Structure 1
Amino acid sequence: MDFIERLNESINTVPNLPLKCFLGYLPPKDEAFVLFPLAGGRVVEEFFDGTKDQELNFEFAMKSKDQQKISNTLWLVQNYLEELSELNSSDGSFDFDSISITNKPFINQLDETGTYVFLVDIKAKITTYPKEETN
């Protein structure tokens, strides 16, 4: 399923985004903006053909010494996601329903070097389809 990849691509189309978003976790050093899955996703309903309605949790994290840059970036993303109505799979593995913001941008950490980490949490509702078996 290519949902997280399509979501990441979509985020990187946001105008005036100061940093490109990458999949994965925050690196130990440097400024970064990332997207990764969180625990707590669930299958809401499963159908006989293997199709599943799912709710999946994701988190955006941004790290920088510039608190205003982080705030601006994450609010841009949050506002974009609240309006997102279409996201297409490139391999037919999912249909997009909606995204809700479960935690708006908030500070998670300030370390001794003056580096801030802020987070935004989301829940995506999608329908996933089983992979076709090839013989």
Structure 2
Amino acid sequence: MNFIETITDKINIDLDLPMRIKKGYLDVGESLVMYPLPGGQKVREYMDGAKDISLNYEIAMKSQDPELLGGSLWQISDFIENLSNLESDEFVFNSIQITNKPYITEAGDQNWLVFLLDFEAKITTD
């Protein structure tokens, strides 16, 4: 299943962000990433073997520029909230919702800040 690759590609194509979002975890410097969170689960299984699945993801951005962080994650949040279709040969997109709006989680050494955004996607797989 390629959900994370499909949605990161869609974000990178449709939004004009200061950096590309990628799958993975934060780098030592400025970065914008998406990764899965625990708690995803099978919601329903059908007779033909298809499954409705709920998946939890987090988008994290690290920068020394708080305006860049806030602006970027709010832009992504608005995009996700309005996302009604996501094309893939491997799953059927059902819905998506923000579970935590952008928020700051870390203000580290040398003025590095980390903002997070959490969402849940519901898809059907074969």
- State the alpha-carbon separation in 1 of the partners of residues 32 and 44 from structure 2: 33
User: How far did residue 16 of structure 1 move?
Assistant: 2.6
Deviations 1:71-113 (A, max 9, x none): 0000000000111011011xx2200011100000000101021
CA-based RMSD: 0.9
- State the alpha-carbon separation in 2 of the partners of residues 24 and 50 from structure 1: 30
Q: How much identity, in percent, do the aligned residues show?
A: 45
The TM-score with structure 1 as length reference comes to: 0.90
What is the number of equivalent residue pairs in this alignment?
Answer: 126
- State the alpha-carbon separation in 1 of the partners of residues 16 and 50 from structure 2: 37
Which letter does structure 2 place at the counterpart of 1:47? Y
1:128 paired with 2:107, answer no
User: How far did residue 17 of structure 1 move?
Assistant: 1.0
Indicate the structure (1 or 2) with the bigger Cα radius of gyration. 1
- The residue number in structure 1 matching 2:35 is 36
In structure 2, runs of 5+ residues without a counterpart are none
1:56 paired with 2:55, answer yes
The TM-score with structure 2 as length reference comes to: 0.97
In structure 1, runs of 5+ residues without a counterpart are 130-135
> Is this contact kept in 2: 1:14–1:77, CA < 8 A?
no
Which letter does structure 2 place at the counterpart of 1:122? F
Give the 3-state SS of the residue equivalent to 1:12 in structure 2: helix
The structure where helix makes up a greater share of residues is 2
1:16 paired with 2:1, answer no
